[in-house]
Amino acid sequence: MSNARMLSGIVAILLVGACGAGDTVAADSAKAAADSMSKTDTATASVVTEEPILKSSPSGSYDLDKSHTYINFSFSHLGFSNPVIGFRDFDVEFSLDNENLSNSSLNVNINVDSIDSGTTKFDKHLVSEDMFDTAKFPKATFTATDFVMTAADKMDITGDLTIKDVTRSVVLNTKINKAANHPMSKVPTIGISASTTIKRSDFGVSYATPHVGDEVKISIEAEMPQAK
């Protein structure tokens, strides 16, 4: 029996004794208090003992399964819609140290000229001087500086995001969907969903604000098999 559960039982006995055997209301209150403390103790224990999902993944380098990886962003267009735009050409380098997560590393390099809105005319505007100006700034990058587990299947990845040579610290809220041997390739694989929200004007992309939303949500879906 845990100390908290033993304490809750003692509290219940003392309360019942102090109120008298006939005071059923006080007795019921004491029992409710004891049950509440017991449930809290049990819940706390389950949180503390839950092992991070990444513990099942071997340390080392991981490749990127580009056929199942997506980097997209969305924004408000005049309040009428929320377009979703992606990139076709990018690389991700990930190295995991599951004994000391802070020793892990993550680097993302995006060829901004590969932007894909689904419309050729809009793509040309997005890479123009009005927007990303890819003739001068062809790359966008993210370099992780810290990894913190916030739950067994969640972590915050803090890093430096660089767009148009402007660098700002952002946090990727990351959900670890699965970390296990891939059922087809039989290779240890990690799958994640990550997101963050930035202001594009902070990176020198302020065309048409505030009519077109300044807040941009970045979302990432990635599958990473262990490197051979």
CA distance linking residue 124 with residue 110, whole number of Å: 17
pTM of the model: 0.78
- Residue for token digits 């700034």? 137
CA distance linking residue 156 with residue 108, whole number of Å: 16
Tens of pLDDT, residue by residue over 163-182, are 999 999 999 999 999 999 99
> Would you identify the CATH topology of the domain 53-225?
Lipocalin (2.40.128)
Tens of pLDDT, residue by residue over 13-58, are 334 444 444 444 444 554 555 555 555 444 444 444 578 999 999 9
Tens of pLDDT, residue by residue over 202-222, are 999 999 999 999 999 999 999
Residues 6+ apart with CB under 8 A from 132: 112, 115, 126, 140, 163, 164, 205
Q: Is the peptide bond before 138 cis (omega within 30 degrees of 0)?
A: no
What is the reported pLDDT for 137? Answer: 98
What is the reported pLDDT for 195? Answer: 98
> Per-residue pLDDT for 91 more than 90?
yes
CA distance linking residue 160 with residue 140, whole number of Å: 11
Burial of 19-44, coded b for 16+ CB within 10 Å and e otherwise, reads eeeeeeeebeebeeebeebbeebeee
What is the reported pLDDT for 25? Answer: 45
Identify the sign of the CA torsion 172, 173, 178, 179: positive
Mean pLDDT in the chain? 86
What percent of the chain lies above the pLDDT cut of 90?
76
